[in-house]
Amino acid sequence: MKTKEIILNKDQISQEGLNDALEKLAELAEDNFIPKWQSYDTTGKEVIQSLEKYYLDLHEGEVENPGEVVMDIIVDLVYTNELRQELDYVKIYLRRREGKNNEFR
C-alpha cells in the first residue's frame, strides 16, 4: 500500500479539523489528484494524548448507495496539548490500495 501525506497548518484550519480535512479531500478530488468520491464512512477512531486519529473510507456513491470504496484515508488531528482544546495541525494520509484504480498524483 502506497501512502502520501498532506499537512494542513494552523493557518489553514479551523477548530473543526475533520471538516477541514474533508474539504481538502474534496478539493483534491476536484483537481483529479485523488478519485472522485461522494460519501465517507468513519471506520475507526483513536485518541492518544494530544492526537485524535480517524480512519475513513471514501465511497464513489452517495450515502444512500455508497458503492465501492475508492480510497482509504487516515486523518490525524494534532492538538497543542493533551486537553485537546486547540488544534495545532491536521495530517491527512492518502492510502492507495494495490491493484485498485485509485491512483493519486
Query: pLDDT digits over 66-83, tens only?
Result: 999 999 999 999 999 999
Q: Domains in the chain, ordered, with CATH?
A: 2-96 (3.10.450)
CB 53 within 8 A of CB 75: yes
Name the one residue in this structure whose C-alpha cell is 465517507: 40
Strand order in the sheet with 51-59: 2-8, 87-96, 69-79, 51-59, 39-48
pLDDT of residue 97: 61
Which pTM was predicted? 0.88
Binning pLDDT at 50, 70 and 90, where does residue 98 land? low
